[in-house]
Amino acid sequence: MLSSIECMAVVVAALYGILAATRKSLDVVGIFVISFSVAFGGGTVRDLFLDRHPLFWITNDHYLMIVLAIAIAGSLMPRLVARAEPYLAVPDAIGMALFTVTGAGFALQAGTSPFIAMFLGAVTGTFGGVIADVLCNEIPSVFRSSPLYATCSFLGGGAYVAVRLFGGEVWQAVAIGVGVVVLLRMLALRWDIRLPIATTGHADAPPDRSA
Amino acid sequence: MLSSIECMAVVVAALYGILAATRKSLDVVGIFVISFSVAFGGGTVRDLFLDRHPLFWITNDHYLMIVLAIAIAGSLMPRLVARAEPYLAVPDAIGMALFTVTGAGFALQAGTSPFIAMFLGAVTGTFGGVIADVLCNEIPSVFRSSPLYATCSFLGGGAYVAVRLFGGEVWQAVAIGVGVVVLLRMLALRWDIRLPIATTGHADAPPDRSA
Amino acid sequence: MLSSIECMAVVVAALYGILAATRKSLDVVGIFVISFSVAFGGGTVRDLFLDRHPLFWITNDHYLMIVLAIAIAGSLMPRLVARAEPYLAVPDAIGMALFTVTGAGFALQAGTSPFIAMFLGAVTGTFGGVIADVLCNEIPSVFRSSPLYATCSFLGGGAYVAVRLFGGEVWQAVAIGVGVVVLLRMLALRWDIRLPIATTGHADAPPDRSA
Tell me, yes or no, whether B196 lies in a domain.
Answer: no
In a domain, A201, yes or no: no
| Tally of CB atoms within 10 A around A110 | 19
Task: Return d(Cα C9, Cα C32) in angstroms, integer.
Answer: 16
Whole-prediction pTM value? 0.92
Axis crossing angle, helix C150-165 with helix C114-135, rounded to the nearest 10: 150
B145 or C50: which carries more pLDDT confidence? C50
Q: How far is C144 from chain A (nearest CA, A)?
A: 5
Instruction: Indicate which of C16, C25, C133 best probes the interface with B, i.e. most B CBs within 10 Å of its own CB.
Output: C25
CA distance C79 to chain B (A): 6
What is the rounded average pLDDT of the residues A163-176? 94
Cα(A201)–Cα(B136) distance, integer angstroms? 16
* Residue B200 falls inside a structural domain: no
Could you tell me if residue A209 is inside a domain? Answer: no
Mind listing the pLDDT tens digit of every residue in chain C (211 residues)? 556 777 888 899 999 999 999 889 999 999 999 999 999 999 999 999 999 999 989 999 999 999 999 999 998 988 888 888 888 899 899 999 999 999 999 999 999 999 999 999 999 999 999 999 999 999 999 999 889 999 999 999 999 999 999 999 999 999 999 999 999 999 999 999 998 887 765 544 555 554 4
Kindly tell me the burial class for residue C193, based on how many C-beta atoms sit within 10 Å of its own C-beta (0-12, 13-18, 19 or more): middle
Q: What's the structural domain count of chain C?
A: 1
Could you tell me which chains touch chain A, where touching means 3 or more CB pairs under 8 A? B, C
Residues in C closer than 8 angstroms to B50, CB to CB, are: 53-54, 58
Rounded to an integer, what distance in angstroms lies between the CA atom of residue C151 and that of residue C157?
Answer: 10
Please give the biggest Cα pair distance in chain A: 56
- Domain of residue A140 covers 2-191
**ipTM given for this complex:** 0.90
**CB-based burial label for A28 (10 Å; 0-12, 13-18, 19+):** buried
Among residues A16, A188, A11, which one has the least CA distance to residue A85?
Answer: A16
Interface test mutation site (partner B, options C33, C151, C210, max chain B beta carbons within 10 A): C33
pLDDT number for residue C50: 96
CA distance C73 to B97: 28
- Whether A211 has a pLDDT exceeding 50, the answer reads no
- Angle A185-B132-B206 (CA atoms, 0-180°, nearest 5)? 105
Partner residues linked to C17 by β-bridges: none
Alpha-carbon distance of A83 to A22, in angstroms, equals 13
pLDDT band at A154 (very low <50, low <70, confident <90, very high): very high
Q: Which of C143, B98, C72 has the alpha carbon at shortest distance from A134?
A: C143
Q: What is chain A's length?
A: 211
> Roughly what angle, to the nearest 10 degrees, separates helices A89-109 and A2-23?
120
Q: Which chains border C (3 or more CB–CB pairs < 8 Å)?
A: A, B
On whether the CB atoms of residues B81 and B15 are closer than 8 A, the answer is yes
Read off φ and ψ for residue A27, nearest 5 degrees.
-90, -175
Bond before C54 cis per omega within 30 degrees? yes
Lowest mean pLDDT among A44-58, A190-204, B187-201, C54-68: A190-204
Determine whether the interchain pair A27/C139 forms a contact, defined as Cβ–Cβ distance below 8 Å.
no
Taking alpha carbons only, the member of B180, B94, B148, B161 closest to residue B121 is B161
pLDDT of residue C211: 40
Q: Give domain status of residue C161, yes or no.
A: yes
Q: How far apart are CA B185 and CA B147, in angstroms?
A: 8
Q: What single letter denotes the amino acid at residue B85?
A: E
| Distance (Å, whole) CA C34 – CA C71 | 9
Please give the C-alpha separations between residue C127 and each of A12, B98, B147, C70, in angstroms, as whole numbers. Answer: 25, 32, 31, 21
CA distance B78 to A208: 15
**Given phi > 0 = left and psi -120 to 50 = alpha, else beta, which region is C70?**
alpha
Taking the C-alpha atoms of residue C159 and residue C125, their distance in angstroms, rounded to an integer, is 14
Between the alpha carbon of residue A167 and those of residues A89, A113, A161, A172, A173, the distances in Å are: 32, 16, 10, 10, 10
CA nearest to A146 within chain C: C210
